[in-house]
């Protein structure tokens, strides 16, 4: 977890990257100790949304969000992907690779997040929670679909009023 803003990360490398980019202007960032000088910490700033990246390749990959470019295409099914990692993950499906195995029921999965989601069946733990109402969900997709509070009610009212006008 980032000591500066509380954001959590699954991998320490992502935490370090976050601290170096998001909190560059802060005086004390523990991960800066890895660099011999602040000059070694070169940040590449993106012009559309102002995000900063340590690696030019990450910036280039991020730019595809704005351009919509999908540089990686599956030869088997024609599906296109923005990132090489997503393309490689997809290719596992065609190869039938399922390296992630549930230790409880021996079900196998092609992606680690699928196993993580599956494990909730056995544990009953709901990893995703609504900040407003504390309702728990077994997947991030369910949480994103969940709507509660004034913002959702306002959107619903706006749509109802628009329909009434037409």
What are the residues whose beta carbons fall under 8 Å from the beta carbon of 128, sequence distance 6 or more?
Answer: 136, 137, 138, 139, 140, 142, 143
- Most confidently modeled of 1-5, 72-76, 112-116? 72-76
Model's pTM, two decimal places?
A: 0.47
Q: State the pLDDT at residue 106.
A: 95
Higher pLDDT, 23 or 124: 124
Alpha helix segments (H runs only) across the chain: 12-22, 56-67, 84-95, 112-123, 140-145, 150-165
Least confident among 13-27, 88-102, 124-138: 13-27
Q: State the pLDDT at residue 75.
A: 94
Sign (positive or negative) of CA dihedral 14, 16, 20, 22: positive
* Domains of the chain listed by start with CATH number: 12-65 (no CATH), 100-145 (3.30.160.60)
């Amino acid at each position: 977890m980032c000591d500066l803003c509380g954001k959590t990360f699954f991998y320490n490398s992502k935490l370090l990257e976050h601290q170096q980019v998001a909190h560059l202007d802060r005086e004390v960032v523990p991960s800066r100790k890895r660099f011999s000088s602040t000059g070694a910490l070169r940040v590449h700033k993106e012009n559309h949304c102002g995000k900063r990246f340590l690696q030019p390749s990450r910036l280039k990959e991020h730019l595809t969000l704005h351009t919509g470019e999908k540089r990686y295409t599956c030869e088997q099914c024609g599906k296109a992907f923005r990132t090489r990692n997503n393309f490689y993950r997809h290719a596992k499906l065609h190869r039938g690779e399922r390296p992630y195995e549930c230790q409880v029921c021996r079900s196998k999965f092609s992606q680690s997040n699928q196993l993580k989601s599956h494990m909730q069946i056995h544990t009953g733990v709901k990893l995703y929670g609504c900040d407003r109402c504390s309702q728990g969900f077994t997947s991030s997709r369910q949480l994103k679909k969940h709507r509660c509070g004034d913002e959702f009610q306002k959107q619903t009212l706006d749509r109802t009023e628009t329909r009434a006008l037409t």
